[in-house]
Structure 1
Amino acid sequence: MNTLTKYCIVASLAASISLDGSAQSRPIAYPARGQSPQKQQQDEGACYSWAKSNTGVDPAAVANAPPPPSGPAVGGGERVQGAARGAAGGAVIGAIAGDAGKGAAIGAATGTAVGGSRARQNRRATAASSQAQTQGAMDTFNRAFGACMEGRGYTIR
């Protein structure tokens, strides 16, 4: 294995692993015209800057974006709304059965559980949307980076 091939393997491995150890989906460039490792590094830097300025996507900022919140779903007031709806419905049913207070209490408890389920569902939908948006931005950046590198005589994978 010649030195250039070894360098390309090491460079591609280093480029594909971020600081936190997760794999990046950045395209890998292979010199198609015998470019030196120094020239490839220079071209990658120039194409990174070009792609960043033309797409408005900064991969470093995307990688360092905080993850969506996790833990118990407490946002949006879904539990409170569920409790209010449940209490109202339970009071009506309880009044028919002869004990509106007991019906309201049961309805409120049930409504709180349903509201919590709704809150968790909303949180999952928000997280999925955020992830799809991030992936779309990175795909746009990677296409621009790859096009720039191809224009400079590299094969992109």
Structure 2
Amino acid sequence: MLRNMRRLTGVLALALACSVSAQQPIVYPAKGQSAGQQQNDTAQCQLWATQTTGVDPVALAQQGANQPSSQQPQGQRLRGAAGGAALGAAVGAVAGDAGKGAAIGAITGTAAGGMRARRSQQNAAAQTQANQQQTQQSLTTYNRAVAACMTGRGYTVQ
């Protein structure tokens, strides 16, 4: 499980890095600006976009890559089985067969623990997706700001 979460985190970091580079605007020097001038203007526009939007794409990429994998609760089935067995034994003792009650309780508790584990995994996946969407929106805003700045400096931006 932990191995899968690490793999998922790595894939998400790679996807984030690819999305950052894939969404950068394409800039054409429409007024004959030199390559050096374009690099200077790009750097200044990126700085301006970061200051204006509050979005730093480098920090976002590092945050995505360094984000610790969310630890999933472990042992939910075992705890469910133990709790179910204890409850089943108590009910079974009243009914006259504590062993049978414990067995039924253990099976029921294991199933309930498994459902809690799946629900926990689904919640973690939903949170990861929400974080990705928020990051994507931030990067879109940042790239729009860079594009506006470069357009203002005489470049054609797509």
Give TM-score scaled by structure 2 length.
Answer: 0.70
Aligned to 2:80: 83
Q: Give the distance between the partners of 1:126 and 1:87, measured in 2 at CA.
A: 30
**Residues of 2 paired with 1:63 and 1:137: CA distance?**
12
Partner of 1:46: 44
Which one of 23, 26, 35 corresponds to residue 24 of structure 2? 26
Matches for 1:76-115 after TM superposition, within 5 Å: 79=76, 83=80, 87=84, 91=88, 99-115=100-116
Unaligned runs of 5+ in 1: 1-17
**Root mean square deviation, CA, Å:** 3.4
- Mapped to 2, the partners of 1:129 and 1:87 lie a distance apart of 35
Q: C-alpha displacement at 1:64, in angstroms?
A: 1.2
- Divergent runs of 4+, >6 A: none
Moved more, 141-150 or 109-118: 109-118
Q: Which has the higher helix share?
A: 2
Residue 38 of structure 1 and its aligned partner are, at CA, apart by: 1.0
1:56 alignment counterpart: 54
Identity, % of aligned pairs? 37
Report if the CA contact (8 A) 1:79-1:119 is conserved.
no
Matched with 1:3 is: none
**Greater relative contact order (Cα < 8 A, sep 6+):** 2
For residue 51 of structure 2, what is the amino acid of its counterpart? S
Contact 2:80 2:106 in 1 (8 A): no
Q: How far is 1:67 from its partner?
A: 4.6
CA change 1:68–1:132 in 2 (3 A) is: farther
Asked if 1:69 is matched to 2:65, the reply is no
Distance across 2 between alignment mates of 1:37 and 1:55: 26
Q: Which residue of 1 aligns with 2:152?
A: 151
Contact 1:47 1:145 (8 Å CA) reproduced: yes
Shift of 1:119: 1.4
CA distance in 1, matches of 2:72, 2:61: 26
